[in-house]
Structure 1
Amino acid sequence: MNAAMNFTAATTTTKPHSPFLTGGVSLLRTSPTLLPLHRSPPSSIRMSLRDDGPSLAVVGVTGAVGQEFLSVLSDRDFPYRSIKLLASKRSAGKEMTFEGRNYVVEELTADSFDDVDIALFSAGGSISKQFGPLAVEKGTIVVDNSSAFRMVDDVPLVIPEVNPDAMAHIKLGNGKGALIANPNCSTIICLMAATPLHRRAKVTRMVVSTYQAASGAGAAAMEELELQTREVLEGKPPTCNIFSQQYAFNLFSHNAPILSNGYNEEEMKLVKETRKIWNDITVRVTATCIRVPVMRAHAESVNLQFETPLDEDTAREILENAPGVVVIDDRPSNQFPTPLEVSNKDDVAVGRIRRDVSQDGDSGLEIFVCGDQIRKGAALNAVQIAEMLL
C-alpha cells in the first residue's frame, strides 16, 4: 500500500472526497438561506447530548466555517448538554437541523452567552471584538477563529498538537471566562508539519510560499470561482464581485491589504503568529501568499533552515510519527500531497521531503504541505481546543 492510499486510512473523517462537499452538502450552495449540514433522521441521533457536557454556542453558524464547526462537533462526538446557534439579525429565525434535532438560529446579542460554557466564534474580527469580551464577562470561554485577538499578549494562540501548554491555565467550570485564539489557516497548516522538525533541530529561518484556495475567502468566493469557471468556458466575461480580477484559470497575490513594508497582512500573520506559537522571537520567517483557483484546501512550500543538522530520512520518520500529519512522499511514482486529496480531511499531508541543496550539509530541508483550510485550518483546530477544556 503506498503513502497516498495510507492517507485514506489515516484520516479521521468519513466525509465525501469531493472538494465541493462538506457534510454531504455542496459547500458552494451553503448560503444562509438553505438548511445546511446534518439532516440525520432521529434514529441516527448521537450520544453527544449529555447532561454532564458543557453548554455550547456557535457564533456565525450560517457561514462556511460555522457550518463546519457543527460538522466537526458531530464527527468527534463532542459532548454538550445544550447548543445555541447564533448569527446576525438577517439570519435569525432560520431553521437548522443538527444531529437529528431542529434548531432555530438566534440573533447574536449581548445576552446570548448567559449560561454558555464554551463559545466557538467565526463571524469576523469586528463581531469578535464586540461580543468576545462580553461573553468572557459572562464566564464563557471563547475560542475565536478571527484575527481579532491573536497577537494580544495574554490571549493564547493555540494549535493543540503544537503548543497545548499555552492554554493550560484556562479551566472549564470555575466560572471564569477567557479568550483563546485560533491561528490563521496558513499558519496552522504550516506549523503542523514544521513544528515536529523544529523540536528536533530548531528552525532558525523559514521561507513559506502559500497557494491558497477560494475557501479561505468564504463560501461566496467559492461560488464566484465556480461561476467564473463556467463563464470563461462559455466565452463570457467573468463576474468579479469578491475579487477585483479574474480568479478562474488564474492566480494572483493574496487579496489581503498591502502593508508599508510591501508584505500583505496574510504574509505577516505567518511571521508574527509563528513567533508567538513557538515562543521564539528570534526565528526568521518570510512568506509569499498567493491565491490559486482551487476550491478547497491550501498548499504551502516550506523551506527550513536548522540550527543543528537534520537529514531527510530522519525528517521523514519524524513526520510519519507526528500527530495530525500524514506523509505522502512517493518519489518513484511522483505522488505527493494535493489539495484535492486533503479536502474534507482532518490530517495535514506533507511530502517533497528533500535536502535543500543550496545549503551546506543537512542544515536545510524543503517540504510541501497541504491541509484543508476549513477543517484543520479553522473548525477542527477550534473544536480540538474546546476538547482540551473538557
Structure 2
Amino acid sequence: EKAEHISYTTATTGTLYRMLPTMARVQADTTHTVSIQPAGSGKVLDILVLPGQAVQQGQALLHYQNHSLHIARLQETQTRTALAATLATQQEASQAYTRGKALAGQTVSVGEMQKRLAALQQAKENVAARQAELAVLKHRFDEEYTSPTEQHATQDETSTLVAPFAGTITRLNTAIAADVDPNLPLLTLSDSQHVWLVSDIAPQEAALLAPTGQQLTTLPDGTATQPLHTVIETIGAVADPTTGLVPVLSRVDNSQGHLRPGMVLNSLLQTTQSQSGLLVPADAVQTVNGQNVVFQTVSDTTIRPTPVETGLEENGQIVILSGLQTGARIVQHGSLALKAMMVLPAMDAE
C-alpha cells in the first residue's frame, strides 16, 4: 500500500446535484452602501482616501471649505449681538414700567402706563425671536453640520466628511479645489463585511435554479484552499434588456476581507437536477474492459475489483446506482495503479 500510495474511502448514501459553471463578479452590498454628501457648499481642501481603500468608523475622508458654515457663524454672531441689544432694551422697558407703576395716578398717566407696558411686551417678543433664531442655528450646528457623516471645526469654516461605519471606499466623485454642493455625493462607502456574488446566466439556465440552492466559488490564489460555500438568495425575474441575461445573487460574509468589488471568480450554481444513491469520489471509479469498477476491500489483505453502475458525476463525486452497499470500503487514491496491475497482465497474455 505504501508503494502505491493507496488511500481508502467509504461509500455513503446521498444526493448529488448537477452544478452549473459560471463566472461570479463581486459587488458591493447595496443594502449597506451610503453616498456621502456634504451639508454645505464650498470647495474641497484635501482628500484623505482613495477608491478601494478600507476605512474605519469615524475616520476622516475629506476636508472642505464650508461657505454655508461660514455664513451660519456670521448669522450666529449677528444674532447674539442683536439678542444682547434686545435684552438691554427689555431691561430698560421693564424698569420704566416698574417706575410707572409706582407713580401711577400721580405724575404718570394711565396712557403712559399702557405705552410702557406695550414697549415691554414688544421687547420681550424681540428677545424671544432672537433666542429662537439662535436655537435654529444651534440645531444646524448640532444636526446639520454634525452628523454620522460630517463634523465641523469649532472656530473656522472647515468641515470634515467622516465614515459612518467601517467599510471600503467604492467611489470618489470629486477632486481637490472642486466645488462642493449639498446635492452632489462626493464619496460612496460600502460595508465590506458583506458583499454580493452576482452571476449573469441565460434565462433557460436560470430556470434550472432555485433559491436556497448552494453556490461554490473558487477564491483567489493564496486566500483559501476550499471553495466558498454560499446560498442562492435571489434569482432575477426578468432578463436584462441589454445583455439578455438573468442575475443570480448570493450574499457573502467577507469579514476576512478576501473579496473586493469588481473581482470575477469561477463559480458553480446548484441546479434542481439531482440523483440519489451511494456517493464516492469520482477518481475511485476506473473503467476496465468497458466496465466501471471500484476496488473494494474484502479483508485486511484482499482488494477485489467490483463492477458498478454509475450515474451523475459532479464536482469530484459520482453516484453509484448499483454494485455496492452503504459503508463499503473502497480504494480512492491508488485505484489507477490497481487498474494497471489488472490490465498489463492481460495485455502480456495477448
Compare relative contact order (CA 8 Å, sep 6+) and give the higher one, 1 or 2.
2
Q: Same fold (TM over 0.5)?
A: no
TM-score by length of 2: 0.22
- Could you say which structure has the larger radius of gyration? 2
More strand by share: 2
